[in-house]
Amino acid sequence: HSYGNYFDPAKDCSYVVDNVPKAKSGVYWIQAEKGPVKAWCDVDTDAGGFLLIGVKDTPDHETWAIPSNSALVRPEGVARWSSAFGKKNVFDFRVQISTSKNFRDTREHCYYRFKSTPILSNLLMSDEGGCSHRYPGIGNIAYVKDLMTRKMATRTFNCSRFGASMAPELGSCCACFGPDSKQDYCAPKCQAINGGTVLREKDNITVWFWIRLSLPKRVWKKYMEFKEKNGAGKMETWRVENGIRRKGPCSVPEDVTINDGVAVVPNNQSMNKLPKVEDLLFYLSDKKKLYIKEQSQWTALANQKE
């Protein structure tokens, strides 16, 4: 299949999932600010669509001190960040910690879904959205999903801080994580708290950093919840399941994509004024149809009886 090569680069790794039959995790050409670049795409984890943007294989340096350039980042490669996607808006940010250079030795694995889509280059330096000026990090978190258990970990985690060098004055560095991704698990001087686990240099730590810029179609086709008012003015819960609009909540809450609102527009003219946001839902009053923004077009969803 030609999609995802230099002459027909993919918009992101989710588009690889959508457009390459039987896609496998590996290297694809992805559109970047300065033209197509090679990137490693994970097409399997949580329905796929993740792009590898960083590898850290020792706790000897702070996360943000890893060298950065525009070359391809490989899972088994040297420690560095990719600078090719710094201007991209991030939908999900994923962290995977292993005690070797192999995915099978993963000890902690989760991703952060954002309330808004931050620019990647600002991601670890934000003092907004729950993060303080003194301790910047990843803020504006809608929820955290634990990929080890495949369950939603929390919806109340405000800020995640990354900095493996916890006690530089002692020459002691570590990686630290917790059992459920809900709170802080590292105290100063690499002390585990709240049931946290500390890994040190002798543990041969490898950390992979992934981003997802949009959701593959198979994600929203699986489950999505939203609320709308009925004829009596009361809010009702609906779901989109396998592309079909059905009444009631999803039966598997940890796999739900939450959509906080549905835009209601009277006609096609108003529809054209809606923002170009991937996976946005809107209700067209004159046709009594629910639509979803799918890549470059609006797609009507069938009702259950249809």
Q: Which residue has the higher pLDDT, 172 or 118?
A: 118
pTM above 0.75, yes or no: no
Q: Which residue has the higher pLDDT, 270 or 239?
A: 239
Whether the pLDDT of residue 74 is over 60: the answer is: yes
Nearest-angstrom CA–CA distance, 245 and 61: 49
Kindly state the average pLDDT of the residues 74-92. Answer: 91
Kindly state the average pLDDT of the residues 76-95. Answer: 91
Could you report the per-residue pLDDT of 194-234, keeping only the tens digit for each?
Answer: 887 777 666 678 889 999 999 887 765 556 677 777 888 88
pLDDT at 186: 72
What's the Cα-to-Cα distance from 38 to each of 83, 136, 216, rounded to whole Å? 12, 30, 19
pLDDT at 302: 60
**Closest listed residue to residue 16, CA positions, set 188, 198, 26:** 26
Binned at pLDDT 50, 70 and 90, residue 258 comes out as: very low
H-type helices in the chain, by residue range? 13-19, 217-220, 268-271
Contact between 98 and 209 under an 8 Å Cβ cutoff? The reply is no
Report the range of poorest mean pLDDT among 97-111, 234-248, 270-284. 270-284
Whether the pLDDT of residue 48 is over 80: the answer is: yes
Q: In the chain, what are the domain boundaries?
A: 13-212, 217-302
Residue 26 structure tokens: 């590996």
pLDDT at 146: 87
Could you report the per-residue pLDDT of 174-199, keeping only the tens digit for each?
Answer: 667 666 656 677 776 677 788 877 77
Helix or strand (DSSP H, E) at 19: helix 13-19
Decide: helix, strand or coil at residue 23: coil
